[in-house]
Amino acid sequence: MQEIPVSLLTLVAGAFVTVLSIWLGHNHNLLPVQASAQAPLVDGFFNIMFSIAIALFLIVEGTILIFVIKYRRRKGDDTDGVHIEGNLPLEVFWTAVPTIIVLCLGVYSVDVFTRMGGIEAPGHMMAHSHSPAHVAQMPGTALAATLSDASASEMEIPVPPRKIGIGGTSQDGKVADLVVDVTGMQFAWIFNYPESGVNSGELHVPIGADVQINLSATDVIHSFWVPQFRLKQDAIPGIPTQLRFVATKTGTYPIVCTELCGGYHGSMRSQVIVETPEEYENWLTENKVAQNQERNQAVALKPSELSTSEFLAPYAHDMGISSATLESINH
Protein backbone atom coordinates (compact mmCIF):
# COMPACT_ATOMS: atom_id res chain seq x y z
CA MET A 1 0.00 0.00 0.00
CA GLN A 2 1.43 3.35 -1.02
CA GLU A 3 2.03 5.76 1.85
CA ILE A 4 0.47 9.22 1.87
CA PRO A 5 3.13 11.90 1.26
CA VAL A 6 4.20 13.81 4.34
CA SER A 7 3.61 17.12 2.56
CA LEU A 8 -0.03 16.19 1.95
CA LEU A 9 -0.51 15.17 5.58
CA THR A 10 1.04 18.45 6.69
CA LEU A 11 -1.29 20.39 4.40
CA VAL A 12 -4.37 18.59 5.69
CA ALA A 13 -3.28 18.99 9.31
CA GLY A 14 -2.57 22.68 8.74
CA ALA A 15 -6.00 23.26 7.22
CA PHE A 16 -7.68 21.39 10.09
CA VAL A 17 -5.78 23.37 12.73
CA THR A 18 -6.56 26.66 10.98
CA VAL A 19 -10.29 26.03 10.70
CA LEU A 20 -10.58 24.68 14.25
CA SER A 21 -8.60 27.52 15.83
CA ILE A 22 -10.59 30.21 13.98
CA TRP A 23 -13.89 28.61 14.95
CA LEU A 24 -12.91 28.23 18.62
CA GLY A 25 -11.42 31.73 18.67
CA HIS A 26 -14.74 33.25 17.61
CA ASN A 27 -17.11 30.91 19.45
CA HIS A 28 -16.16 31.08 23.10
CA ASN A 29 -17.84 32.41 26.23
CA LEU A 30 -14.79 33.94 27.86
CA LEU A 31 -15.93 37.57 27.62
CA PRO A 32 -18.96 39.28 29.20
CA VAL A 33 -21.70 40.86 27.14
CA GLN A 34 -20.80 43.77 24.86
CA ALA A 35 -22.41 46.98 26.11
CA SER A 36 -20.48 49.79 24.42
CA ALA A 37 -19.47 50.89 20.94
CA GLN A 38 -15.83 50.26 21.88
CA ALA A 39 -16.39 46.64 22.98
CA PRO A 40 -16.47 45.05 19.48
CA LEU A 41 -13.08 46.59 18.67
CA VAL A 42 -11.49 45.02 21.74
CA ASP A 43 -13.27 41.70 21.25
CA GLY A 44 -12.16 41.48 17.62
CA PHE A 45 -8.54 41.91 18.69
CA PHE A 46 -8.95 39.39 21.51
CA ASN A 47 -10.53 36.81 19.20
CA ILE A 48 -7.62 37.02 16.78
CA MET A 49 -5.07 36.61 19.57
CA PHE A 50 -7.06 33.71 21.00
CA SER A 51 -7.26 32.00 17.59
CA ILE A 52 -3.50 32.31 17.15
CA ALA A 53 -2.93 30.95 20.66
CA ILE A 54 -5.16 27.94 19.96
CA ALA A 55 -3.35 27.24 16.68
CA LEU A 56 0.07 27.39 18.35
CA PHE A 57 -1.14 25.16 21.17
CA LEU A 58 -2.49 22.55 18.77
CA ILE A 59 0.69 22.59 16.66
CA VAL A 60 3.09 22.32 19.60
CA GLU A 61 1.12 19.81 21.65
CA GLY A 62 0.15 17.83 18.55
CA THR A 63 3.79 17.56 17.49
CA ILE A 64 4.76 16.38 20.96
CA LEU A 65 2.07 13.68 20.92
CA ILE A 66 3.08 12.49 17.44
CA PHE A 67 6.73 12.24 18.44
CA VAL A 68 5.89 10.48 21.71
CA ILE A 69 3.96 7.83 19.80
CA LYS A 70 5.97 7.47 16.60
CA TYR A 71 9.46 7.72 18.03
CA ARG A 72 8.91 5.94 21.30
CA ARG A 73 11.45 3.37 22.39
CA ARG A 74 10.50 -0.08 21.18
CA LYS A 75 11.00 -3.20 23.29
CA GLY A 76 14.45 -4.63 22.84
CA ASP A 77 15.80 -1.58 20.97
CA ASP A 78 18.83 -0.28 22.88
CA THR A 79 20.41 1.61 19.98
CA ASP A 80 21.02 5.34 19.97
CA GLY A 81 18.65 7.67 18.20
CA VAL A 82 19.47 9.44 14.97
CA HIS A 83 22.10 12.12 15.55
CA ILE A 84 20.73 15.45 14.30
CA GLU A 85 22.79 18.58 14.75
CA GLY A 86 20.73 21.67 13.95
CA ASN A 87 18.37 22.48 11.12
CA LEU A 88 18.78 25.97 9.68
CA PRO A 89 15.49 26.14 7.72
CA LEU A 90 13.56 25.00 10.78
CA GLU A 91 15.33 27.51 13.02
CA VAL A 92 14.56 30.34 10.58
CA PHE A 93 10.93 29.22 10.28
CA TRP A 94 10.12 29.11 13.98
CA THR A 95 11.89 32.43 14.55
CA ALA A 96 10.33 34.26 11.61
CA VAL A 97 6.75 33.14 12.19
CA PRO A 98 6.46 34.43 15.81
CA THR A 99 8.21 37.65 14.78
CA ILE A 100 5.69 38.28 12.01
CA ILE A 101 2.79 37.44 14.33
CA VAL A 102 3.99 39.86 17.03
CA LEU A 103 4.57 42.67 14.52
CA CYS A 104 1.12 42.22 12.97
CA LEU A 105 -0.58 42.14 16.37
CA GLY A 106 1.33 45.25 17.39
CA VAL A 107 0.17 47.18 14.33
CA TYR A 108 -3.40 45.96 14.81
CA SER A 109 -3.43 46.90 18.50
CA VAL A 110 -2.27 50.44 17.69
CA ASP A 111 -5.04 50.72 15.11
CA VAL A 112 -7.66 49.57 17.63
CA PHE A 113 -6.33 51.90 20.33
CA THR A 114 -6.35 54.83 17.90
CA ARG A 115 -9.93 54.14 16.76
CA MET A 116 -10.99 54.09 20.41
CA GLY A 117 -9.43 57.53 20.86
CA GLY A 118 -6.40 56.51 22.88
CA ILE A 119 -3.67 57.92 20.62
CA GLU A 120 -3.55 61.49 19.42
CA ALA A 121 -2.81 62.17 15.78
CA PRO A 122 0.77 63.46 15.28
CA GLY A 123 1.08 67.21 15.08
CA HIS A 124 2.87 70.24 16.43
CA MET A 125 3.02 70.52 20.18
CA MET A 126 4.00 74.20 19.96
CA ALA A 127 2.06 77.13 18.51
CA HIS A 128 3.98 79.55 16.28
CA SER A 129 3.59 83.31 15.99
CA HIS A 130 5.17 85.68 13.49
CA SER A 131 4.02 88.86 15.24
CA PRO A 132 6.65 91.07 16.92
CA ALA A 133 4.04 92.46 19.28
CA HIS A 134 4.96 89.87 21.89
CA VAL A 135 8.41 91.40 22.36
CA ALA A 136 7.41 95.07 22.24
CA GLN A 137 6.79 95.19 25.98
CA MET A 138 10.12 93.69 26.93
CA PRO A 139 12.76 95.90 28.61
CA GLY A 140 15.34 97.58 26.40
CA THR A 141 17.98 94.94 26.85
CA ALA A 142 20.22 93.47 24.22
CA LEU A 143 18.06 90.36 24.23
CA ALA A 144 14.95 92.45 23.59
CA ALA A 145 16.65 94.32 20.76
CA THR A 146 17.77 91.09 19.20
CA LEU A 147 14.24 89.66 19.39
CA SER A 148 12.74 92.86 18.00
CA ASP A 149 15.10 92.86 15.06
CA ALA A 150 14.28 89.25 14.32
CA SER A 151 10.62 90.02 13.67
CA ALA A 152 10.50 87.45 10.87
CA SER A 153 11.50 84.60 13.15
CA GLU A 154 8.95 82.28 14.66
CA MET A 155 8.08 82.41 18.34
CA GLU A 156 7.04 79.21 20.03
CA ILE A 157 4.20 79.38 22.50
CA PRO A 158 3.51 76.27 24.59
CA VAL A 159 0.05 74.80 24.30
CA PRO A 160 -1.81 72.85 26.99
CA PRO A 161 -0.80 69.19 27.29
CA ARG A 162 -2.87 66.56 25.56
CA LYS A 163 -5.59 64.78 27.49
CA ILE A 164 -4.77 61.31 28.77
CA GLY A 165 -7.05 58.34 28.42
CA ILE A 166 -9.34 56.43 26.07
CA GLY A 167 -11.22 59.10 24.15
CA GLY A 168 -9.16 61.85 25.73
CA THR A 169 -7.93 62.93 22.33
CA SER A 170 -9.94 64.89 19.81
CA GLN A 171 -13.08 63.17 18.55
CA ASP A 172 -13.22 65.12 15.27
CA GLY A 173 -14.03 68.23 17.26
CA LYS A 174 -17.30 66.75 18.53
CA VAL A 175 -18.50 67.80 21.96
CA ALA A 176 -19.69 64.99 24.22
CA ASP A 177 -23.43 64.65 24.85
CA LEU A 178 -22.86 64.10 28.56
CA VAL A 179 -19.93 64.99 30.81
CA VAL A 180 -19.52 63.36 34.23
CA ASP A 181 -16.78 64.14 36.75
CA VAL A 182 -15.73 60.96 38.56
CA THR A 183 -13.64 61.08 41.73
CA GLY A 184 -11.98 58.01 43.18
CA MET A 185 -11.18 57.87 46.88
CA GLN A 186 -10.56 55.20 49.46
CA PHE A 187 -12.86 53.35 48.99
CA ALA A 188 -15.65 54.74 46.80
CA TRP A 189 -16.49 56.37 43.49
CA ILE A 190 -18.29 59.74 43.48
CA PHE A 191 -20.11 60.85 40.31
CA ASN A 192 -20.84 64.53 39.71
CA TYR A 193 -22.96 65.85 36.85
CA PRO A 194 -21.68 69.44 36.46
CA GLU A 195 -24.45 70.62 34.14
CA SER A 196 -27.21 69.70 36.58
CA GLY A 197 -25.34 69.78 39.91
CA VAL A 198 -26.42 66.22 40.76
CA ASN A 199 -24.08 64.03 42.82
CA SER A 200 -24.46 60.27 42.99
CA GLY A 201 -22.79 57.11 44.18
CA GLU A 202 -23.57 55.35 40.91
CA LEU A 203 -23.21 56.29 37.26
CA HIS A 204 -26.36 56.80 35.17
CA VAL A 205 -26.03 57.30 31.40
CA PRO A 206 -28.57 57.27 28.55
CA ILE A 207 -28.15 54.63 25.88
CA GLY A 208 -26.60 55.88 22.65
CA ALA A 209 -25.18 59.06 24.21
CA ASP A 210 -21.56 60.08 23.73
CA VAL A 211 -20.36 60.15 27.35
CA GLN A 212 -17.14 61.76 28.55
CA ILE A 213 -15.87 60.85 32.02
CA ASN A 214 -13.30 63.11 33.68
CA LEU A 215 -11.38 61.02 36.19
CA SER A 216 -9.48 62.23 39.25
CA ALA A 217 -8.31 60.79 42.57
CA THR A 218 -8.00 62.39 46.00
CA ASP A 219 -5.49 60.06 47.66
CA VAL A 220 -3.87 57.17 45.76
CA ILE A 221 -4.08 55.71 42.26
CA HIS A 222 -7.36 53.99 41.47
CA SER A 223 -8.48 52.31 38.27
CA PHE A 224 -11.95 52.68 36.74
CA TRP A 225 -13.01 49.50 34.92
CA VAL A 226 -16.31 48.44 33.37
CA PRO A 227 -15.83 44.90 31.96
CA GLN A 228 -18.89 45.07 29.70
CA PHE A 229 -17.59 48.29 28.13
CA ARG A 230 -14.06 46.84 27.68
CA LEU A 231 -12.73 50.12 29.07
CA LYS A 232 -10.30 50.76 31.89
CA GLN A 233 -8.48 53.93 32.90
CA ASP A 234 -6.42 54.93 35.94
CA ALA A 235 -7.52 57.78 38.19
CA ILE A 236 -4.28 59.48 39.24
CA PRO A 237 -3.89 62.14 41.96
CA GLY A 238 -2.97 65.47 40.35
CA ILE A 239 -3.19 64.18 36.76
CA PRO A 240 -6.65 64.35 35.12
CA THR A 241 -7.56 61.46 32.84
CA GLN A 242 -10.54 60.71 30.65
CA LEU A 243 -12.76 57.95 29.32
CA ARG A 244 -15.16 58.43 26.43
CA PHE A 245 -17.69 55.84 25.37
CA VAL A 246 -21.11 55.18 23.91
CA ALA A 247 -23.30 52.66 25.77
CA THR A 248 -25.22 50.38 23.40
CA LYS A 249 -27.17 48.07 25.72
CA THR A 250 -29.43 48.95 28.62
CA GLY A 251 -28.74 47.30 31.94
CA THR A 252 -26.74 47.54 35.14
CA TYR A 253 -23.03 46.81 34.94
CA PRO A 254 -20.35 46.71 37.67
CA ILE A 255 -17.68 49.36 38.11
CA VAL A 256 -14.56 47.83 39.62
CA CYS A 257 -11.36 49.39 40.93
CA THR A 258 -8.52 47.31 39.49
CA GLU A 259 -5.63 49.14 41.15
CA LEU A 260 -4.67 47.96 44.64
CA CYS A 261 -5.52 51.05 46.68
CA GLY A 262 -5.61 49.88 50.29
CA GLY A 263 -7.04 47.42 52.74
CA TYR A 264 -10.62 47.67 51.47
CA HIS A 265 -9.71 47.76 47.78
CA GLY A 266 -11.93 44.75 47.08
CA SER A 267 -15.02 46.62 48.26
CA MET A 268 -14.42 49.68 46.07
CA ARG A 269 -17.22 48.95 43.66
CA SER A 270 -20.12 50.79 42.13
CA GLN A 271 -22.32 50.35 39.08
CA VAL A 272 -23.17 52.03 35.80
CA ILE A 273 -26.84 52.02 34.87
CA VAL A 274 -27.57 52.40 31.16
CA GLU A 275 -31.12 53.65 30.67
CA THR A 276 -33.38 54.91 27.94
CA PRO A 277 -33.25 58.71 27.49
CA GLU A 278 -36.66 59.02 29.19
CA GLU A 279 -35.59 56.97 32.20
CA TYR A 280 -32.37 58.95 32.49
CA GLU A 281 -34.21 62.28 32.41
CA ASN A 282 -36.61 61.04 35.10
CA TRP A 283 -33.71 59.95 37.30
CA LEU A 284 -31.97 63.29 36.79
CA THR A 285 -35.13 65.26 37.62
CA GLU A 286 -35.83 63.23 40.75
CA ASN A 287 -32.29 63.73 42.03
CA LYS A 288 -32.36 67.44 41.30
CA VAL A 289 -35.51 67.83 43.39
CA ALA A 290 -34.31 65.56 46.20
CA GLN A 291 -30.89 67.18 46.51
CA ASN A 292 -32.32 70.70 46.35
CA GLN A 293 -34.77 69.83 49.12
CA GLU A 294 -31.94 68.59 51.31
CA ARG A 295 -30.04 71.83 50.75
CA ASN A 296 -33.10 73.95 51.58
CA GLN A 297 -33.71 72.06 54.80
CA ALA A 298 -30.11 72.29 55.90
CA VAL A 299 -29.10 75.77 54.72
CA ALA A 300 -32.14 77.95 54.04
CA LEU A 301 -33.54 77.77 57.56
CA LYS A 302 -34.28 81.21 59.11
CA PRO A 303 -34.27 81.21 62.94
CA SER A 304 -36.41 84.35 62.99
CA GLU A 305 -39.26 82.45 61.36
CA LEU A 306 -39.23 79.69 64.00
CA SER A 307 -41.28 79.57 67.16
CA THR A 308 -39.52 79.40 70.51
CA SER A 309 -40.21 75.68 70.82
CA GLU A 310 -38.93 74.96 67.31
CA PHE A 311 -35.82 77.04 67.90
CA LEU A 312 -35.00 75.34 71.23
CA ALA A 313 -35.95 71.82 70.15
CA PRO A 314 -32.47 70.69 68.96
CA TYR A 315 -30.80 72.03 72.10
CA ALA A 316 -33.45 70.55 74.37
CA HIS A 317 -32.93 67.17 72.79
CA ASP A 318 -29.18 67.37 73.45
CA MET A 319 -29.84 68.38 77.05
CA GLY A 320 -32.28 65.53 77.61
CA ILE A 321 -35.32 67.78 78.08
CA SER A 322 -38.59 66.32 76.82
CA SER A 323 -40.87 68.22 74.49
CA ALA A 324 -43.62 68.28 77.16
CA THR A 325 -41.29 69.92 79.68
CA LEU A 326 -40.15 72.45 77.10
CA GLU A 327 -43.77 73.28 76.22
CA SER A 328 -44.67 73.83 79.88
CA ILE A 329 -41.67 76.16 80.35
CA ASN A 330 -42.75 78.23 77.33
CA HIS A 331 -46.26 78.60 78.75
Give the tens place of pLDDT for each residue, 280-297.
999 999 888 887 765 555
Same domain, 317 and 228: no
Q: Which one is predicted more confidently, 8 or 141?
A: 8
Give domain status of residue 188, yes or no: yes
How far is it, in rounded angstroms, from Cα 138 to Cα 53? 64
Q: Is residue 76 situated within a structural domain?
A: no
Q: Does residue 289 share a domain with residue 212? A: yes
* pLDDT at position 158 over 60: no
CA–CA separation, 281 and 165 (whole Å): 28
Residues 248 and 324 in one domain: no
195 in a structural domain? yes
Same-domain check for residues 243 and 316: no
Query: Do 25 and 42 belong to one domain?
Result: yes
**Domain co-membership, 108 together with 221:** no
Residue-wise pLDDT for 202-228, tens only, equals: 999 999 999 999 999 999 999 999 999
Whether residues 262 and 213 fall in one domain: yes
Residue 184 domain-assigned (yes or no): yes
CA angle 282, 285, 289 (to 5 degrees): 140
Helix extents (H) in the chain:
6-26, 39-70, 88-115, 142-149, 277-299, 308-319, 323-330
Is the same domain home to 286 and 318? no
184 and 239 part of one domain? yes
In a domain, 78, yes or no: no
**Distance from C-alpha of 269 to C-alpha of 260, rounded to nearest angstrom:** 13
pTM equals: 0.69
Reported as a single tens digit per residue, the pLDDT across 70-105 is: 888 888 888 887 888 888 888 898 899 999 999 999
Does residue 233 belong to any structural domain of this protein? yes
Q: Which domain holds residue 59?
A: 7-71+94-115
- Domain contains 196: yes
227: exposed, middle or buried (Cβ count in 10 Å: 0-12, 13-18, 19+): middle
Are residues 179 and 198 part of one domain?
Answer: yes
> 285 and 315, same structural domain?
no
Q: How many domains is the chain partitioned into structurally? A: 3
Q: Are residues 106 and 212 in the same domain?
A: no
